[in-house]
Amino acid sequence: MALEFTEQNVWLLIASAFVMLTIPGVALFYGGMVRGKNVLNTMGLPLLALALASLEWVLWGEAVVFGSSGAAVTPMLMNHTFAAALALALVAGALVERIRFAFFLVFGVLWLTLVYMPVAYWLWGGGWVGRLGGLDFAGGAVVHITAGVTALVAVVLVGPRRGYGRVEMRPHNVPLSVCGGALLWVGWCGFSAGMGGASMTAVTGAFVAIQAAAAAAALTWTVAETLQRDKPTVLGTVSGSVAGLVAIAPAAGYVGPLSAIVIGIGAGGACYMVVNFVKPILGYDDSLDVFGMHAVGGTWGMVAVGLFASTAVNPDGSDGLFYGYPYQFGVQLLAVAAVWAYTAAVTFLLVKTLMADMPARVDQEAELVGLDLTQHGERGCWV
Q: Give the tens place of pLDDT for each residue, 180-207.
A: 999 999 988 877 666 656 667 777 888 8
Q: Is residue 357 situated within a structural domain?
A: yes
Q: Is residue 244 situated within a structural domain?
A: yes
Angle 259-123-186 (CA atoms, 0-180°, nearest 5)? 50
Give residue 218's pLDDT. 98
**DSSP labels, 100-117:** -HHHHHHHHHHHIIIIIH
Q: Give the tens place of pLDDT for each residue, 59-90.
A: 999 999 988 755 555 667 778 888 999 999 99
Report mean pLDDT in 10-residue bins for the chain, 383 residues.
Answer: 60 77 94 95 96 94 81 68 94 96 96 98 94 93 98 97 91 95 90 65 84 97 95 96 96 93 98 97 96 98 93 60 82 97 98 96 94 90 60
Domain containing 335: what range? 7-376
Nearest to 296 by CA among 184, 144, 181, 150: 144
Q: Is residue 183 situated within a structural domain?
A: yes
| Alpha-carbon gap, residue 184 to 93, rounded angstroms | 15
Q: Is residue 2 situated within a structural domain?
A: no
209: buried, middle or exposed (CB in 10 Å: 19+, 13-18, 0-12)?
Answer: buried
Q: Is residue 382 situated within a structural domain?
A: no
Nearest to 31 by CA among 44, 21, 19, 14: 44
pTM of the model: 0.93
Give residue 80's pLDDT. 86
Q: Is residue 261 situated within a structural domain?
A: yes
> How many structural domains is the chain composed of?
1
Q: Is residue 306 situated within a structural domain?
A: yes
Q: Which amino acid is at 42?
A: T
Q: Give the tens place of pLDDT for each residue, 317-359.
A: 544 466 777 899 999 999 999 999 999 999 999 999 999 999 9
Alpha-carbon distances, residue 90 vs 79, 161, 202, 269 (angstroms):
16, 18, 27, 21
CATH code for the domain of 16? 1.10.3430.10
Q: Is residue 1 situated within a structural domain?
A: no
Give residue 177's pLDDT. 96
Residue 327 CA, chain-centre distance (Å), reads: 27
